[in-house]
Chains A and B, each alone.
Chain A
Amino acid sequence: MKKLTTLFAATALATLMAGSAWSKTFVYCSEGSPEGFDPGLYTAGTTFDAAAHTVYNRLLEFKKGTTETEPGLAESWTISDDGLEYTFKLRPGVKFQTTEFFTPTREFNSDDVVFSYERQLKADNPWNKYVTGASWEYAAGMGFPEVIKSVEKVDDLTVKFTLTRKEAPFLANIAMPFASILSKEYADKLQAEGKMNQMNQMPLGTGPFAFVAYQQDAVIRYKANPDYWGGKQKIDDLVFAITADASVRYQKLQAGECHLMPFPNSADVAAMKADPNLKVMEQAGLNVAYLAYNTTQAPFDKPEVRKALNKAINKQAIVDAVFQGAAQPATNPIPPTMWSYNDTLQDDTYDLDAAKKMLEEAGVKDLSMKVWAMPVSRPYMLNARRAAELMQADFAKIGVKVEIVSYEWAEYLDKSKAKDRDGAVILGWTGDNGDPDNFLDTLLGCNAVGGNNRAQWCNPEFDALVKKAKDTSDLAERTKLYEEAQVVFKREAPWATLDHSLSVVPMRKNVEGFVQSPLGDFAFDGVDIVE
């Protein structure tokens, strides 16, 4: 009850502040409720937008609008010669947020860093299981429990990470939202009061906005953190108006009820561009959509058959019908904006006659196959069933019968991992940290077979190249290895690469300073409303 009263008071305060003439309130029509407010626990972008980019900071941050890292809570760092020890010098004088529910007594120091990592790595940490079913999925996915041997406090403003093996993408990994830095002092207080759950409901960090209140499926309120180490924000209040339907979000934006919205219907984009009150930002997304054959299933175990089918897919038609042009056909498994993208490679041209001939030469007749189509819309593939229907029509012309199958989303992801899966599956990937390793090894490496490697494709030549690139810290060397890996990929064709989509962000004309993130994040520091 007491908590409720505080919540009410906080909401009332926020409303009062929003009402005053000199305060600026920025409203973001977000696409869904966050899973919680502890970014370490979850994997959804919606959660990261609501928790990680508002309330928290990380040791390193991604430079706005790029996938390069820059100093965040760590001012500088040194890497030992063997590449196993990372020593971070922390930024001095960083204050945690002062809120209705917590007043910090000390500044940010290395205890907070050690705490934030250890709870994700060590099963005996009291915060490791503080939420029922906590799995620290992201840390596990990035291999942190094996890679990080220890996180030690050297002095108040120095932290040392010791790794078990060389890991080139490590600096990019710790800039990711799940590696946000929490307050140890706040955690200790909650633990002492026996209210550990509150960490996941009322977050407190060093970020540009402080959490005020949250009402599920309705609204999240923040206010600008006056003590933010990067300076106070130009807007005073930040509101997430949770609106699940894209058409409704568009209507709210039109009516001026929100200033910015994510994920518009591709069919609405043309009208948004024509609207004098709106402006639309577009950027090549860091993503790829693909059709993964099961390379262990006959006759798809033959590269010739896969290449023949690839030739029969009209990617431009998919881009037009599914994205209304807001995407580009994909050649390589990594997007063209990523370093090491091999632009010397040629895509398979759409040629039905050649495809038919190749199939005949491979001795395949009367082929019928299943194509799995995702039941949901993702940024990289807005309508998989429609894409599948286009493929179905084209494959029919070369004598391949296609049956389109679909399952409920969670089941789809799970079933498509099976090694003996029947058929090719449409899926995609959005990059987490801008490193090619995050695509090439995560999606096509041998150790991902039966998991993220939906093609069940284990090619020793490709795998060796990708693994070698992981152990190398020299960027030029890594670039060369990844370029070679893409040549192998294109030759063997475990996937039909379909598209890289544009991410489109419509906003009111008077919004300034919003920078689109290639990683698909929505962060509102630096945003302003001009009248």
Chain B
Amino acid sequence: MSQAAATSAVSTDPSRRARLAEFWYYFSENRGAVIGLVFFLFLVLLAIFAPIIAPHDPTAQYRDAVLIPPVWQEGGRAEFLLGTDAVGRDMLSRLIYGTQFSLFVGVIVTTLSLVGGIFVGVIAGYFRGWVDTVIMRVMDIILAFPSLLLALVLVAVLGPGLTNAMIAIALVFQPHFVRLTRAAVMSEKNRDYVIAAKVAGAGHGRLMFKTILPNCMAPLIVQATLSFSSAILDAAALGFLGMGAQPPTPEWGTMLAEAREFIQSKWWVVTLPGVAILITVLAINLMGDGLRDALDPKLKRS
């Protein structure tokens, strides 16, 4: 998703194809980024086709098959490849459906904070003066709190649940986008092409969003990718603390929290959701690194 956005943002000149090829050249230089991208695409496919791929309903409880170990261990059963949890739900199916929630959280949170952050940031950077001061001080206040703590407070006020958790995390991530956008807008604002557009009679709205904004996109895309993984991690943390997704939603953090007591006896119930969170976040972060290499003009070696 972010890749598609990336290409369309960079290629403002006619040779779209050439730009894309250049982007891919730099991106594929980074082996880790390619692996990350491949794994990410795999997760997207898993999420989309979860109902077809998953062998069981993620909330169906098989009362005769409680805490069955994975198939390769003694006592495992072929119908439950990765075993079952404490109430007899298939771990594999829950993990697959969990992909949906994690990616959904990532997409929604990133979109919310990206759109909000860009809008507020452009206004702050373009108008400066007291508008800028007010906006930036509010952002400073939000930044002053540790992000998870603030998210916890917001969820405690709004009430636990996946939707509220997403709103809270999006709010917490907002300032990063605002700051980036504002800085980029400030450096672009006095360039010749902007002045030219102004002389030609462009209004504030057109100047802000049509003329300046497209030239500020590169750092925002990188930040969006990194926020994507942070959002997944924060949602899992909130779920772990009982403030995120509510049962029987197969969200990874919630699954992890509910299996804590088995840490010494039934490893698969605890380990698998943790591993899922780990590799997803790792893949997205690797991809983000590659995007930065490809999009940041300072890192280009041509």
B258, A250: Cβ atoms under 8 Å? no
| Contact indicator A267/B258 (Cβ below 8 Å) | no
Please determine whether A268 and B264 come into contact, CB atoms closer than 8 angstroms: yes
Bound CA span A266–B261, Å: 8
CB 8 Å contact bits of B30-67 with A (1 = contact, 0 = none)? 00000000000000000000000000000111010010
| Identity of the chain B residue whose Cβ is nearest the Cβ of A317 in the assembled complex | B63
Question: Of A247, A266, A389, which is within 8 A of B87 by CB?
Answer: A389
Cross-chain contact A267 with B261 (CB below 8 angstroms): yes
Stretch at the interface among A48-56, A118-126, A380-388, A521-529: A380-388
Task: Kindly identify which residue among B63, B258, B264 contacts A247, using a CB–CB cutoff of 8 Å.
Answer: B264
Contacts of B86 in A (CB 8 A): 321-322, 383, 386
B160 within 8 A of A: yes
Cβ contact within 8 Å between A265 and B261:
yes
The chain B residue sitting closest to A271, CB to CB, is B265
Residues of A within 8 A of B87 (CB): 317, 321, 386, 389-390, 393
Decide: A246 and B248 in contact? CB cutoff 8 A. no
Bound: A392/B248 CA distance, A: 8
Size range of the chain A interface in the assembly: 20 to 34
CB proximity of B188 to chain A, nearest CB, Å: 48
CB distance from B271 to the nearest CB of A (A): 14
Q: Which residues of B contact A317 (CB under 8 A)?
A: 63, 87
- One digit per residue, 1 when the CB lies within 8 angstroms of any chain A CB and 0 when it does not, for chain B 238-267 equals 000010001110000000001001111110
Main secondary structure of the interface of B (DSSP, over half): loop
CB-CB under 8 A for A320 and B66, given A385-B247, A392-B248, A404-B246: yes
Cross-interface CB contact of B265 among A267, A320, A388, A389, cutoff 8 Å:
A267
Shortest distance in angstroms between B228's beta carbon and chain A's nearest beta carbon?
A: 28
Docked Cα-Cα span, A375 to B61, in Å, equals: 22
Majority SS of interface residues in chain A?
A: helix
- Residues facing A in B130-162 (CB within 8 A) are 160
- Shortest Cβ distance from B300 into chain A, in angstroms? 51
B261 contacts across to A, CB distance below 8 A:
246, 265-267, 382-383
Report the Cα distance A270→B266, complex, angstroms.
12
Enumerate chain B residues within 8 angstroms of A320, measured Cβ to Cβ. 63, 66
Kindly provide the distance from the CB of B266 to the nearest chain A CB, expressed in whole angstroms: 7
| A472 contacts chain B at the CB level, 8 A cutoff | no
Contact of B63 among A246, A314, A405 (CB under 8 A): A314
Closest chain B residue to A387, Cβ basis? B87
Q: Complex Cα distance A405/B242, Å?
A: 10
Q: Which residues of B contact A198 (CB under 8 A)?
A: none
Partner of B262, one of A267, A388, A392, A393: A267
Segment 224-256 of A: residues with Cβ below 8 Å from B: 246-247, 250
The answer to whether A388 and B242 have CB atoms under 8 Å apart is no
Q: Which of these, A267, A385, A386, A390, contacts B264 with CB under 8 Å?
A: A267
Given contacts A321-B66, A321-B86, A406-B160, contact A389 B264 (CB under 8 A): no
* Most chain A CB neighbours (cut-off 10 Å) among B246, B261, B264: B261
| Central interface residue in B61, B63, B87, B246, by most chain A CB within 10 Å | B87
B5–chain A nearest beta-carbon distance, Å: 37
A382 CA to B247 CA, complexed, in Å: 17
A393–B61 CB distance below 8 A: yes
**A390 to B62 Cα, complex, angstroms:** 11
Q: Known A321-B66, A406-B160, A406-B242; judge A389-B263 contact (CB<8 A).
A: no
Nearest CB in chain A: distance from B161 CB, A: 10
Cβ contacts A to B, 23 pairs, < 8 Å: A250-B264, A265-B262, A267-B264, A271-B264, A317-B63, A320-B63, A321-B88, A382-B261, A383-B261, A385-B247, A386-B86, A389-B87, A389-B247, A389-B248, A390-B87, A393-B59, A393-B61, A393-B87, A393-B248, A404-B246, A404-B247, A405-B246, A406-B246
**A-B pairs with the 3 shortest C-beta distances?**
A267-B265, A265-B261, A393-B61
